[in-house]
Chains A and B, each alone.
Chain A
């Protein structure tokens, strides 16, 4: 009996192995799980960077971060405040429902109504009018340049499906409206949700009915959150996963040294800088009268005290690119002629400080997040050391990312590290409106008490409206230059993305960190 069965079982096992080997399964680990399968539940780039494989917008970013048609085939600007979109006709949702204008209007209301996290994103839209099943007109409140950019981050959901599961609204934290979207998803994207155990495992499978030409060869994506960095790396090294995004910097060498493993690198759109209070009349705890940070000379002195090449070498291990402005070279409208840093020159910096009346230096409280940016703590510590050389005593205040996220916009910090990538808009307007414009109700949320210049504020509004590319470039360059010359921020560097994976995986590493699996292949 036993003897007879053994070969059979073996054969069955081999057959099973065979089918597994044939299917290309990309096992992917990340530090956290997406909170929900609802693409409207949180304006969270992390969630969207995965959900972009399940849901799609009217337009999308391609591998080179250029906008291309997605669920909209084409569009035309009928008037400065009226955009007509022709919807793709051959698209079905994963459950087989056809994609129509009703779904676009439904998704507009779902994401854009008051109370939804996406209300701000869709705020410029006044109304969506259905022309026919495959044509809609967006009426916008004012001239607006970034409608398409915004649409790339707004995903279309199936009206009928959402109504059938009682999830017409994305987010109601006071009742249980979002629960249904925890384990269900019905999009039009290249992958569809097969299985989901929140915080444990999410399995996607290739959508055979996808409207677009299939360039990837993945059959399945198994996504596992692994919170602990060391464990995640161990899972990659042990062959339990094929791909980890954002490999911890200290493990890069180990991964690269392991046979069959590689690290793919790419420039991130995010640039890292110090922002600071330039408005208050005093700088608490500085030990000097007044607020030294109000003086551009002092800010320039601080900028000149930072040895950014040293940071790149010893802290970033060459995985960074020093920048002089907030626009990363990969950002549209980047102007290389402006990307010139103040020289690193502690002596000159000291002289500048003396000129500004701070020959004796002062104490500078620096607030630093722990784990929001690559090596943030070490960079802050290095900065403290460098500031000491020009007579400024840094007082480091380390905060967790959530404390930081809450405290920074509230204006709790006087001098802080910040990074901004301009996502999901991928346009300088996003960076300017959030971190350069003077704080008002809708703008400048991440520039509390910060850099403020009326001319720059005016330009930023115009940049948001201007559709003419040449005029936009001029205005953008003016903002960049003005802020640089007035030392509105103290710039550090652009981060590099470092993704660890097995040699089998061919990935693309775009500057916005999105995992666009429809460009991936496995050998």
Chain B
């Protein structure tokens, strides 16, 4: 069963060790990802999405560390591997794309050289073969005239083109999973769609599973198969994209999606829900969302709701602890 999953994250927790003790920033995050599947990870800024993404690719920066849980890639546990083994997985079996294509590339190196360097790090190719592959990759991500562009430097490309190159770099060794952290946030709206469809195509053609971190509902609607909603370090709801968008179960998700008709709105602030998301270390007792929750009851302030699995999803809310998964009354 698990062997079929591209990515299986179980109870992942991330803490920061500070001088005043350790502080939990991500708690007991679990989700799975099948081959070729695109999972949208949404939530307000500061929810812990990037931390989770970084943890997946093994690039959590001190003082952050994984304090619990497991990450399985194609059935193999990777979070406990020694750093060098993790390094060898990165780029080869699990890749990453970051938000700002303008700063993701080394300004002093031609894009060709950066591609070849990545390819030869992971694949046993000769220099000419790596070069040929680099050209193919450039063509694949939609760079016209790969041969001419091969020897150019990042500053000679536009933002959208650079993100294409970043993607080419991420898929250089055909990884099974790509963690894309806000890959379109820094781009023009017109370019965003192109990049998203490129990612979608990659997932389809190569069977690459993608974790797409974003706070943009439009992005989710466009390419995600499933959505995981994060609030204050926890995943509060997972479900197929259509269901979550149109029939959210968790009051937070509902607040995030349901109240405004347009899907292209941004979810980084929720003016329709009073208050703001607490920072790590300031999480309230019980359900973290209860101070803002319109449906909160006494239990919400006392216990953390246990995640309840549904057939194609999960929700963590006391409204559903009775066992029924019907949407709450508005």
Are A and B direct contacts in the complex by CB distance below 8 Å?
Answer: no
